[in-house]
Amino acid sequence: MSLGSGLAKGLAVTFRTMTRRAVTQQYPETQPLLPPRSRGVIALFEENCTVCMLCARECPDWCIYIDSHKETVPPAAPGGRERSRNVLDRFAIDFALCMYCGICIEVCPFDALFWSPEFEYAETDIHELTHERDRLRAWMWTVPEPPPLDPAAEEPKEIAAATKAAEREGS
């Protein structure tokens, strides 16, 4: 390619770009369109939490704080034995430490932790980045519903188990 054609090409490319719409999104005015699996923040569905501590123990940088106490529940049937139940007192995630690996969400056996695409929780003080259970619970409302399965995908485990149980009942 000769010298002149390269120069002309540079001019042409820049001019063509100028006539097109800019790709910039003006953030505070326009909210970004985030994909459904965006890792914005970790939300807690505390009704599902059984204080099994798996998330806190698997967390690679120990950024999850859980406090709980035991309560005794009266027996279900008369003459039965009293049951004990874990009650969650505190659930906090220090987002100054969290590295958004998502292991806590993977490891939760009771579906109490979810990814939310919400990302506007910056603070001016690093200590205020430890967010408590009420804030984590509020983020549950921003969790999008799971994306639909691929066509011809395997049935979800829950539905497969339910149909199997129904078949057993019927037979």
Partner 1 sequence: MDVADVAVRLLAVLLAFLLLPLLVGQGEHKVMAHMQGRVGPMHAGGFHGWAQLVADGVKFVQKEDTIPAGADRRIFQLAPAVALIPYLVVIVAIPLGPDGMVGQVLDAGIFFVLAVLGVGVLGSLMAGWASANKYSLLGGLRTAAQLMAYELPLLLSAASVAMAAGTLSLTGILGAFEWWWVPWQLIGGLVFFTAGLAELQRPPFDAPIAPEEIVFGAYTEYSGLRFAFFLLAEYAGIVVVSALTAVLFLGGWHGPFADQLGWLWMLLKTAALCFVVIWARVAWPRLRADQIQQFAWTVLVPLALAQIALTGVVKVVTS
Q: How far is the CB of 158 from partner 1 (least distance, A)?
A: 46
Closer CB to partner 1, residue 20 or residue 168?
A: 20
Known binder of ligand: residue 108?
yes
Give residues in contact with partner 1 (CB under 8 A). Answer: 7, 10-11, 13-15, 17-18, 20, 22-24, 26
Q: How far is the CB of 1 from partner 1 (least distance, A)?
A: 14
Closer CB to partner 1, residue 24 or residue 31?
A: 24
Known binder of ligand: residue 63?
no
Q: What gap in Å lies between CA 73 and CA 93, rounded to an integer?
A: 29
∠ at Cα 54 (117, 42), nearest 5°? 10
Closer CB to partner 1, residue 16 or residue 157?
A: 16
Token output for 69: 């106490």
Helix ranges restricted to H, the chain: 3-19, 54-58, 103-107, 133-138, 157-170
Helix ranges restricted to H, 20-150: 54-58, 103-107, 133-138
Closer CB to partner 1, residue 18 or residue 33?
A: 18
CB atoms within 10 A of CB 50: 14
- List residues bridging with 85 in a β-sheet: 71
Q: How far is the CB of 37 from partner 1 (least distance, A)?
A: 27
Known binder of ligand: residue 52?
yes
Indicate the annotated binding residues for [4Fe-4S] cluster. Answer: 49, 52, 55, 59, 98, 101, 104, 108
